[in-house]
Amino acid sequence: MFDHFWRAVAIGIGATALMDLWAIFLNTVFAQPRPNWGLVGRWVWHLRDGKVFHDDIGEAAPYAHESALGWAFHYFV
């Protein structure tokens, strides 16, 4: 049972890394903006206050480590 779990974790991390490499490619070749995981980190940070919905997450109070939190959440999910 745990063997299936760890395989799923490895596949999920690999797929996420592949998606991130694709975003780098699109940014390099087509100048498409890369995802801003900092805003995701800000959203996750505000979940601790019970705030799920925001009118504009960009105007919510910033968190010093929101980018790192966003990247961690991106891979955790």
What's the confidence (pLDDT) of residue 39?
97
What's the confidence (pLDDT) of residue 62?
97
CA atoms of 41 and 67, how far apart (whole Å): 6
CA atoms of 21 and 28, how far apart (whole Å): 10
Q: Whose CA is closest to 32, among 42, 41, 22, 18? A: 22
In Å, what is the CA distance from 43 to each residue of 58, 70, 77? 9, 8, 14
Sign of CA dihedral 31, 32, 36, 37: negative
- pLDDT by residue for the chain (77 residues), tens digit each? 789 999 999 999 999 999 999 999 999 999 999 999 999 999 999 999 999 999 999 999 999 999 999 999 999 99
Residue for token pair 């797929």: 15
What's the confidence (pLDDT) of residue 1?
76
Domain ranges of the chain: 1-34, 36-77
What's the confidence (pLDDT) of residue 31?
98
